[in-house]
């Protein structure tokens, strides 16, 4: 589906906010795939720097990824209760929780400055997570000539994307690591939890190219997804052991032996990662995304300062144990073969 960009490879690098780097994006692009720069948590200065660094490493097309969540609904009482809930954990590491929490980054839905940067930089592909941008933002990006993609986890969201005139859908199955692309941060019990291949089957009739995401670790996985209707596959967990990503040493060491679980206790939105201290908490009590993430990052910093990584957000999909330590280009070639 990316032939118009001069890309014949059917494997896409997931944005992987938090651990991906310009070096990873460029390595994938230079190897003939489609790499993504994760801009979801960046302000304009950080985004410009990431784009400049990527362009310094590759002349090939690449994409950018944006977070389109609704801004957090602030509830000071709920946030205070969450901090009190975490106070004993902070105390284990000789620390106090922050006095208050903050919305640590803006949604693209309210970020006109980032829109202006993208209109000037003109990335080849733009993908959206957690929903869609405002209609005026979407129209401006469409007019820029970029290929537009967005994540769907269920048929209902897929129909919204088709009606909005997107160029393709990232079909994110339940197996995928990192944050679920749910449009609404519903209670996890309401999530349809569709496996990747089943989701592909339910999205095929929309008539848009589908990119399968979730559980794609090998060439066999890629072939099965394409047989189920995918035009391409998106991989993130498969690259976690690559030298081009900033995966921590503890995260790398735990991939082969740890289970994964979905939780919203870390960030305020459902996300799949290696089981850690947050997985034992009542996730329904967590504040909205990304306010809850502010508390999680503070607790993790206190723990890591004492040599404890049990509160780190170590995102990974269900295929984590199959990740191979090798350069990203080699992993791309193995999955594309």
Cα atoms in the Cβ-side hemisphere of radius 13 Å centred on 37: 27
| Percent of the chain predicted with pLDDT > 90 | 96
- Greater confidence (103 vs 189) lies with 103
The full DSSP string for 133-159 is --HHHHHHHHHTT-EEEEEESSHHHHH
Q: What integer pLDDT is reported at residue 184 of this predicted model? A: 83
The tens digit of pLDDT for each residue in 66-85 reads: 999 999 999 999 999 999 99
CA distance 211 to 200: 9
Looking at residue 189, its pLDDT comes to: 72
Hey, how many other C-beta atoms are within 10 angstroms of the C-beta on 284?
10
Find residue 213's DSSP bridge partners. 172, 234
Average pLDDT, the chain: 97
Say what the pLDDT of residue 216 is: 98
What integer pLDDT is reported at residue 297 of this predicted model? Answer: 98
pLDDT digits (tens, 9 = 90+) for 100-121: 999 999 999 999 999 999 999 9
Q: Which domains, and CATH codes, for the chain?
A: 3-71+106-238+324-336 (3.20.20.70)
- 29 CB-contact burial (10 Å; exposed 0-12 / middle 13-18 / buried 19+): buried
Mean pLDDT, rounded, for 177-200: 90
Strand pairing class (260-263; 271-274): antiparallel
**152-163 mean pLDDT:** 97
- Each residue of 194-218: pLDDT tens digit? 999 999 999 999 999 999 999 999 9
Q: Is the pLDDT of residue 190 over 90?
A: no
Establish how many alpha carbons lie within 13 A of residue 31's alpha carbon, considering only the half-sphere containing its beta carbon: 24
285: alpha, beta or left? (left if phi > 0; alpha if psi -120 to 50): alpha
pLDDT greater than 90 at residue 188:
no
How far is residue 185's CA from residue 197's CA, in Å, rounded to a whole number?
A: 23
Contact status, residue 317 vs residue 177, Cβ threshold 8 Å:
yes
What pLDDT, on a 0 to 100 scale, did the predictor assign at position 272? 98
Segment 254-278 shows an average pLDDT of: 96
The percent of residues in the chain predicted with pLDDT above 70, rounded, is 99
> What pLDDT score does 187 carry?
64
Confidence of residue 337 (pLDDT cuts 50, 70, 90): confident
């Amino acid at each position: 589906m990316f032939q118009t960009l001069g890309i014949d490879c059917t494997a896409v690098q997931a944005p992987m906010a938090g651990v991906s780097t310009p070096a990873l994006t460029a390595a994938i692009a230079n190897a003939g795939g489609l790499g993504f720069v994760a801009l979801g948590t960046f302000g304009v200065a950080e985004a410009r720097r990431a784009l400049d660094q990527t362009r310094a490493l590759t002349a090939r097309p690449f994409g950018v990824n944006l977070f389109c969540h609704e801004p957090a609904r602030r509830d000071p009482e709920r946030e205070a209760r969450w901090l009190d809930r975490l106070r004993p954990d902070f105390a284990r590491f000789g620390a106090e929780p922050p006095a208050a929490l903050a919305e640590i980054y803006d949604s693209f839905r309210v970020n006109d400055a980032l829109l202006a940067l993208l209109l000037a930089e003109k990335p080849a592909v733009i993908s959206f997570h957690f929903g869609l941008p405002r209609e005026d933002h979407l129209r401006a990006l469409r007019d820029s000539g970029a290929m537009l993609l967005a994540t769907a986890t269920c048929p209902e969201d897929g129909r919204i994307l088709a009606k909005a005139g997107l160029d393709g859908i990232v079909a994110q199955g339940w197996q995928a690591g990192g944050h679920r692309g749910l449009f609404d941060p519903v209670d996890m019990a309401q999530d349809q939890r569709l496996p990747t291949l089943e989701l592909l089957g339910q999205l095929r009739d929309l008539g848009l190219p589908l990119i399968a995401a979730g559980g794609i670790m090998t060439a066999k996985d890629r072939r099965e997804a394409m047989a189920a209707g995918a035009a391409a596959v998106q991989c993130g967990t498969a690259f976690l052991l690559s030298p081009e990503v900033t995966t921590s040493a503890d995260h790398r060491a735990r991939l082969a032996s740890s289970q994964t679980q979905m939780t919203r206790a870390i960030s305020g939105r459902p996300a799949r990662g290696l089981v850690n201290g947050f997985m034992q908490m009542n996730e329904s009590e967590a504040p909205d995304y990304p306010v809850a993430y502010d508390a999680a990052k503070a607790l993790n910093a206190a723990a890591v300062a004492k040599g404890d990584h049990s509160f780190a957000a170590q995102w990974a999909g269900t295929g984590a144990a199959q990740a191979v330590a090798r350069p990203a280009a080699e992993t791309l070639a193995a999955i594309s073969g």
